[in-house]
Structure 1
Amino acid sequence: MRRVTGSQTALRRLSRSLQKPQSELGCVTANSRRFHTKSKDSSEAIATAAKLPDAEPMPPKHAKHSTSVNDILERRAKAGKLVAGTAAYSDSDMFKAPSLGKPKAKRWDHHLTTESLHRQPCVLKQAAKHLKKPGLISLGGGLPCAENFPFESISMKVPAVGRFSEEETRAGGEVVSIGKYDVAEQKDRPGGGAEYDLSIALNYGQATGSAQMMRWVTEHTELVCDPPYADWRSCLTVGSTGALEQALRMFIERERGDGVLTEEYSFATALETVAPLGAKVFGVRMDGEGLLPGDMDDMLSSWDAGARGARKPHLLYTVPSGQNPTGATMGERRRREVYEVCRKHDVYIIEDEPYYFLQMQPYTGAGADGVPPPKDVEEFLEGLVPSLLSMDVDGRVMRMDSFSKVVVPGSRLGWVTASEQVIERYIRHSEVCNQGPSGFSQAILYKLLDEHWGHEGYLKWLMNMRLEYTRRRDTLLAACEQYLPRDVVSWTPPAAGMFHWLKVDYSRHPDAAKRGILDIEEEIFNTCIEKGVLVGRGSWFRAEPDTVPTELFFRATFAAATPENMTEAIRRFGEAVRESFQMS
């Protein structure tokens, strides 16, 4: 990974090329189909936009976080109780605010694969829409009877808002429960009682996930990202890894000779997911802030399909915050420049953001006073680097969110947000791939996030996680400053995520003239194992492993080890480097 600033010439050329006026501004009022016991009728316009011209001006910034937690609470109060039974259909338009004056998304038929374009709706899922008819007796679907579910209730002890530590939860956590028939048994309570229970959650559902969790993720996305185009939607996923595999199959295919752009060092599992699909991966050079937009523009502008062995890529996979493995975080300007390049070259973006909310406090040095944390959720939200989704006027971004890094990875629950067209194609795939996320996971997270914490409580939890990871990162960095040979090992303090990227100056190795980088990397790695520490080899993450490496890296994580073990692990790593470099 080169620490360079990118091609300024390319960026100036790009800026001059983007001269056409923005068009296709439309007006869409959402919320046309609802489950609630009371609602206002609204019209819905679903438009088909033309393919993006070769160049359009960068759209102006729109106000950040125009929707507040209070807005959502008021909207829910006006809508009334959510009534959504077994296998009920739902989509984001039922729960988000009206999208007056926002443009409509572009169409992406020219990028979608033959497989994706040929998927048809699942007839059995479509038939479930009739279940909401009063008095209907269903003999049409294979939905098991809830009487035979061997779970009468589920209870769990969880943190109270603002008292999130393990010790506080043990001493004063709150027990929340969900029963099999809560909706029916509580219907006469003030406010209508429960909206979700085990008879709904544990039965078959829609591939989008339950209406109850669809409402929550839609509201959360509106709070955090507020996409600036009208027809965006969300869909629950079985974690981000499964979501990525589905998204890749929607946009790349072997027969077209497709290629995928990503950072020159990228998430190893993502690379392993692309490989069997037959697409070539091309790495874009990076600096400490992530991939370089000027280099990406140069690469695409001079693309030679014959020499590259693939046609010009139309898909970018990127992790903008706390990038895995490098820990790099794009600032707002960098993200806008990347988006601008993608508009110029008509590239669709998969924005993988599992670490987005782990944006940490600035590193001030070992023993130094830290920067005060955000004082409330409004300040926390305002301090987050804007998502690519929040600047996406074209509908060319699919953002992937996950509970894995900020709640529990075993939930295997997340969600994607993209244009209505793309989400509809994603749902068609999910219907025959996994039929939607686990009902257990949805029930547990609904009770925690929606009923118990609410949106504000969850944001406070994320603020707490931010400080937890800041402390962990600072411990690891202090150990690096104490135990690593600074004339050989260098790094940039990560601003987000859970990874620390260590550059080892291969040129200073005594055997650099006669041994390759991979050989020395293996030697250091094996010595680390002998000394009792596991770090990631940089070569595991190379986007183009068949090319000759020019730099030597290792990845360390500060996610799980105790402070004492992290410090000891770095000491052992330092010993391994010194032995390889024959340093005293």
Structure 2
Amino acid sequence: MSPVPTFDDRIRGADDAFKLTVENAFDLRARSDVMPTSVAPACSSDMFKSPNCYHKPRAKCFNHRLSTEAKRRQPSTLKAAAMFLKDPDLISLCGGLPSPEYFPFENLQLQVPSREALSKRHVNMGKSMENMDSVLRAGKSDIREGKSVYDLEIALNYGQATGSAQLMRFVTEHTEIIHDPPYSDWQCCLTAGSTYAWDTTLRILCEKGDFIITEEYTFASAIETATPLGLRVLGVEMDDYGLVPEALDDSLNNWNYQTRGARKPFLLYLIPTGQNPTGATMPLARREAIYKVAQKHDLFIVEDEPYYFLQMQAYCSRGTEPASEVSRGEFLASLVPSFLSLDSDGRVLRMESFSKVISPGARTGWIVASQQLVDRFARNFEVSSQHPSGISQLALFKLLDEYWGHAGYIDWLINLRIEYSRRRDVMIHAFEKFLPKEVARWKVPAAGMFCWIEIEWRKHPGMALKGDHDSIEEEIFLSAVQNQVLLSRGSWFKANSAQQENRMFFRATFAAASPEKMVEAIRRFSDVLRVQFHISL
């Protein structure tokens, strides 16, 4: 039995500069390790990277940023013993693995859009793709029968904290194709969704009483995860393109331990693309400027990117349609480079998610970071979440790896971009038609699922009686609910909730409701604003 090759083994074996692409991913597989197909095999991204990765420098060491909890965690004794299961002749009486003959699932069938439908760039996915589906099947004994490298017998049993080798291979290749991190010892690790990955990140890097840094407005659940852990939040000024790097630099230059009662913060949480809630997308120059500030102050960046592949086409005015023909190469070239792709130091943790592009209920995503940090995640997962659902991993593998492949997945993402561009345009058209411009302003988002509407709240007639932001925001919000339309209040996303609010926003999503209902919802909200601000048609 040969062990999983070490990083140094890979370095010694990297004798060419093979660069991974969508087209040659399967050629690389033929030159790589045989896929381990036993129960809970040990694996890592190093088994699936191209040789090109190992010509790059290693990440810097960030052990000084690890929390006390992270340093105390040791590898799971039982999980570590699973490495010996690679030997097919080994008879194991060690782990508490139930016999697969008692799993009451014999096969799994999945009806999915066909590769042919995707390649034709259909732009109404819910209708145009019907009757163009394919059925994928996964049986209990597919590996033993030579039908697949992954089956229910393996997926339904315990696995390693890093996730199944089969899905790990796909996400590793995907990461290299899309981001090609500029250092060599990066790793992927599957997660039970980004929310749990964020919770684990805070435990690994922060101590009680620390401040974390976020955008001025940020994902409410990210804050609500941090505060019960005894963490505090420093919200940094934003503009139409996200967090302002000069404001970040200024906040850190002027940090005062005595005034703040905490050490200088070093964990920066960002949603760079289609930011939740504002919809802002950072251009490349903004990302580069923030990365330089991070290097100056030794920050660690958490790049939360569920909307990365929902980067949309240019806004189309009423009566026009977004272009439906685009090649895979053109699509990939149009994506704003990620922080991971700029990360020469290994100071970025990227949280990836299938939630917005495949299914949130799958509860399967992955992180990308340097090996030293991913090792700490694995130590945590071994005694907590263990790994994502085996059924979810198997379903995603059958769809993404075994059927669509990287090319088909890119085609799916291209179709998603067209669909979300159309939905975004429908909402903006409704804004232009209905919202009273005397008190409402908005920017057209370039990515994501959200439009951010600013309200000139100081023009509200109630200013003379109430005079405060919160009561006027609540009155508008409750009036909208009474008029049967629900939008999110901007104050829900304010990072520094105790700070006095000077501006008022409402968040509207164009992801879920039908186009007809979106238009009606904006009409109803417009009626509320006109009544609230005494604006006639």
Find the partner of 2:167 among 202, 206, 213: 213
Find the partner of 1:557 among 491, 509, 513: 509
1:169, distance to aligned residue in structure 2 (A):
4.3
1:511, distance to aligned residue in structure 2 (A):
3.0
Q: In the alignment, which residue of structure 2 is the partner of 1:175?
A: 135
- Residue 131 of structure 2 aligns to a residue whose secondary structure is helix
1:66, distance to aligned residue in structure 2 (A):
5.2
In 1: Cα distance, 2:103 partner to 2:160 partner = 19
- Residue 412 of structure 2 aligns to a residue whose secondary structure is helix
Is it true that 1:85 corresponds to 2:47 in the alignment?
Answer: no
- Residue 174 of structure 2 aligns to a residue whose secondary structure is helix
What is the letter of the counterpart of residue 71 of structure 1? N
Find the partner of 1:111 among 65, 72, 75: 65
Q: 1:81·1:195 contact (CA, 8 Å) conserved in 2?
A: no
Q: 1:303·1:312 contact (CA, 8 Å) conserved in 2?
A: yes
Q: In the alignment, which residue of structure 2 is the partner of 1:230?
A: 184
Find the partner of 2:271 among 319, 339, 347: 319
Q: Deviations over 1:191-226 (max 9, x none)?
A: xx4100000111000010000011010000001111
Instruction: Provide the TM-score with structure 2 as the length reference.
Output: 0.94
Find the partner of 2:524 among 553, 565, 572: 572
Q: Deviations over 1:11-64 (max 9, x none)?
A: xxxxxxxxxxxxxxxxxxxx99369xxxxx94448xxxxxxxxxxxxxxxxx9x
1:71, distance to aligned residue in structure 2 (A):
2.6
Is it true that 1:73 corresponds to 2:23 in the alignment?
Answer: no
Q: Count residues with an aligned counterpart.
A: 522
Find the partner of 2:368 among 385, 405, 417: 417
Find the partner of 2:241 among 284, 289, 311: 289
> Matches of residues 356-371 of structure 1 in structure 2 within 5 Å?
356-368=308-320, 370=322
Find the partner of 2:439 among 461, 483, 488: 488
1:510, distance to aligned residue in structure 2 (A):
2.5
1:81, distance to aligned residue in structure 2 (A):
4.9
What is the letter of the counterpart of residue 334 of structure 2? G
> Matches of residues 134-149 of structure 1 in structure 2 within 5 Å?
134-149=88-103
- Residue 63 of structure 2 aligns to a residue whose secondary structure is coil
In 2: Cα distance, 1:293 partner to 1:67 partner = 33
Residues 303 and 509 of structure 1: is their aligned pair in 2 closer, same or farther, counting only changes over 3 Å?
Answer: same
What is the letter of the counterpart of residue 96 of structure 1? K
Q: In the alignment, which residue of structure 2 is the partner of 1:532?
A: 484
1:166, distance to aligned residue in structure 2 (A):
3.1
1:271, distance to aligned residue in structure 2 (A):
0.5
In 1: Cα distance, 2:183 partner to 2:510 partner = 37
In 1: Cα distance, 2:10 partner to 2:306 partner = 35
In 2: Cα distance, 1:477 partner to 1:387 partner = 27
1:365, distance to aligned residue in structure 2 (A):
2.5
Bigger Cα displacement from structure 2, 265-274 vs 77-86: 77-86
- Residue 454 of structure 2 aligns to a residue whose secondary structure is strand
Q: In the alignment, which residue of structure 1 is the partner of 2:80?
A: 126
Q: Deviations over 1:372-406 (max 9, x none)?
A: 45621111111100000000000000000000000
Q: In the alignment, which residue of structure 2 is the partner of 1:383?
A: 334
1:163, distance to aligned residue in structure 2 (A):
1.6
Q: 1:159·1:168 contact (CA, 8 Å) conserved in 2?
A: no
Find the partner of 1:542 among 478, 481, 494: 494
1:279, distance to aligned residue in structure 2 (A):
1.2
> Matches of residues 453-472 of structure 1 in structure 2 within 5 Å?
453-472=404-423
Q: In the alignment, which residue of structure 1 is the partner of 2:214?
A: 262
In 2: Cα distance, 1:542 partner to 1:578 partner = 26
Q: 1:179·1:197 contact (CA, 8 Å) conserved in 2?
A: yes
- Residue 554 of structure 1 aligns to a residue whose secondary structure is strand
Q: 1:157·1:169 contact (CA, 8 Å) conserved in 2?
A: no
In 2: Cα distance, 1:380 partner to 1:43 partner = 32
Find the partner of 1:505 among 451, 456, 460: 456
Q: 2:187·2:368 contact (CA, 8 Å) conserved in 1?
A: yes
Q: In the alignment, which residue of structure 1 is the partner of 2:387?
A: 436
1:580, distance to aligned residue in structure 2 (A):
1.4
Q: 2:10·2:54 contact (CA, 8 Å) conserved in 1?
A: no
Identity %: 51
Residues 152 and 168 of structure 1: is their aligned pair in 2 closer, same or farther, counting only changes over 3 Å?
Answer: farther
Bigger Cα displacement from structure 2, 450-459 vs 163-172: 163-172
Q: In the alignment, which residue of structure 2 is the partner of 1:201?
A: 155
Question: Any gaps of 5 or more consecutive residues in structure 1?
Answer: 1-30, 36-40, 46-62, 187-192
1:277, distance to aligned residue in structure 2 (A):
1.0
Q: 2:140·2:152 contact (CA, 8 Å) conserved in 1?
A: yes
In 2: Cα distance, 1:459 partner to 1:369 partner = 21
Question: Any gaps of 5 or more consecutive residues in structure 2?
Answer: 119-124
Bigger Cα displacement from structure 2, 127-136 vs 566-575: 127-136
Q: Deviations over 1:253-308 (max 9, x none)?
A: 11xx3111001000000010010111110111001110000110011111112223
In 1: Cα distance, 2:10 partner to 2:212 partner = 39
Q: Deviations over 1:464-519 (max 9, x none)?
A: 00011000000000000000011210011000000000000122222335421111
Q: In the alignment, which residue of structure 1 is the partner of 2:425?
A: 474
Cα RMSD, aligned residues only: 1.9
